[in-house]
Amino acid sequence: MTTVTSALSVGTWAIDPVHSSVGFSVRHLMVSKVRGVFDTFSGAITVAEDGTPSVHAEIAVDSVNTRNEQRDGHLKSADFFDAEKHPVATFSSTAVRQDGDGYVVDGDFTLKGVTRPISLNLDFNGVNPGMGHGEVAGFEASVVLNRKDFGIDIDMPLETGGAVVGDKVTITLEIEALRQA
């Protein structure tokens, strides 16, 4: 099995936003899910000389896109992301460790001014020589967060029990990173 640290060359690998996505899903009305993406994000994976990888990423929360302008406006408001006061969510890794056939990336995630440790489950898809612009590496990662842990604690109860918006939010990342010269 090829490990991330043996497959990624030393240096910086920039996230390619054209070939990557940052998505989420959350329970709606207790029976279905709303899905969305963030259209603007950036980040890099840095591999040190000793092979230790680190990750730093930023997401512009006002780029939320659920394909519904009214809902997106509400998500940008103080009820949810408070994008005016907290325009960027960040992730900085603290460790990368193997877990069976995959990996776990531990780090600090900051959203709406609240920083908490999280652990992303990561699949490493390998490295490809690319198409004339240098090596590319592929990753898929996910984590389930409780929105209330990050100060998104709006309660919208239903008359019949439950809530309009669930507490658990699944974040899904599809990342292609380009080796920087």
- pLDDT in 10s for each residue of the chain, 181 residues: 445 555 888 999 999 999 999 999 887 666 678 899 999 999 999 999 988 899 999 999 999 999 999 989 999 999 999 999 999 999 999 999 999 989 999 999 999 999 999 999 999 999 998 887 889 999 999 999 999 999 888 776 556 665 567 788 999 999 999 999 7
Q: What is residue 31's predicted lDDT score, i.e. its pLDDT?
A: 63
E strands, 61-164, in order:
64-65, 88-99, 102-111, 114-128, 136-146
Pick the CATH number of 4-179 from 3.90.1150.10, 2.40.128.110, 3.40.640.10, 3.40.710.10: 2.40.128.110
- In three-state secondary structure terms, 75 is helix
For the chain, domain boundaries: 4-179
| pLDDT for 20 | 97
pLDDT score of 153: 83
Q: How far is CA 86 from CA 7, 17, 158, in A?
A: 36, 21, 29
Look at residue 113 in the predicted model and tell me its pLDDT: 96
What's the pLDDT at 1? 43
pTM over 0.85: yes
Structure tokens at 31: 């029976």
